[in-house]
Amino acid sequence: MSLCYRVILANPTPHRREMTIPQGVGLGRDEERTTTQEEVRVDVEPYSRIGVLFDTNGFQITDVCSIDDIRVEEIEDLETLDIEVNESSIRIIDDINACDLDGSKRTRDMFRNSGLSTYTGIQVDEGRRMGGVLLLSQLSYLRSQRDGQKVGLYSPTALNLRVCDSPDSIYNLVESGQLSLTSCVGSGFDSHGALQLSVQNNTSNNLRVRIPQGAMFEQSHWNGKQNLVVTNEEFIVVGPAQTQTFPLHASCANGSAQAPADDDMNVTPFIFNNLGNTFQDQASVWQSFDGESGRTARL
């Protein structure tokens, strides 16, 4: 690859953002310095960093774009520039150094605490049973074990997760205050009723609640047990000011941990993307989350 320049865009929010690299942004240094020759607009996924490549004349290399999850990967003859673009030259995915992935409380605390300071756009509210940071921290911890040298926090995209933007989803209804999650209990796996929810409609109208396929529910504490993923999309209707309890079919998301056993869970904004046959059965779910050798990684 001939010499080119990379402009790094970072989105530290829980929403997809269109970001702009203006015309005239400086690339390179000293006598080799050039500028971007045109305005470039790029969609950046939540909690992600994208490297946009430019040639030595300042034109975007349109079919070459890199997404880095922990750090910028080394590419031969590539000059990397962090520049101010839409206030988003922030490094949002941190390396976790001096971490031996030994399964100790110290290591788990390091991932959890780094997650709290990195994924700052996620609401963590134990009283409302809302979470997502622990889920990302744990999945990053497991992937760090599998990948060996890449130890750190990953973007949701790198973990095959997306943020649910459907206004009628259970997470968004809880976040908006229209719905309260009065109880959320995980017990068992790959069964109808592995997840038991009680919800209260806080409005004066019927409330249609969508629970998407792939919706992720995290353990409320790092207790060595598995998180849960909803295997089939379901809808419920809750009457005005009414409370309703209902079971959901859910599978365990991490094959290296114990199954939930009457554990308090949190709803998260994340959906696990179907990789083809992800939700066929419990073994397929584990395969999709953990990969071929993933069950050797321990929570």
What does the pLDDT look like over 195-221, one tens digit per residue? 999 999 999 999 999 999 999 999 999
Query: Is residue 111 predicted with pLDDT exceeding 70?
Result: yes
Query: What angle is formed at CA 169 by the lines to CA 164 and CA 175, rounded to 5 degrees?
Result: 85
pTM over 0.85: no
Higher pLDDT, 76 or 106: 106
Q: Is 41 helix (H, G, I), strand (E, B) or coil?
A: strand
Query: Is residue 138 predicted with pLDDT exceeding 60?
Result: yes
Q: What are phi and psi of 187, to 5 degrees?
A: -155, 110
Q: What's the whole-number mean pLDDT along residues 240-268?
A: 94
Q: Which two tokens stand for residue 253?
A: 């998301």
Q: How confident is the model at residue 3 (pLDDT cuts 50, 70, 90)?
A: low
Mean pLDDT computed over every residue of the chain: 81
Please state, in angstroms and rounded to a whole number, the distance separating the CA atoms of residues 27 and 63: 19
Q: How far is CA 208 from CA 28, 63, 179, 271, in A?
A: 54, 42, 10, 19
Contact 32, 25 (CB under 8 A): no
Q: Is 173 helix (H, G, I), strand (E, B) or coil?
A: helix
pLDDT of residue 169: 96
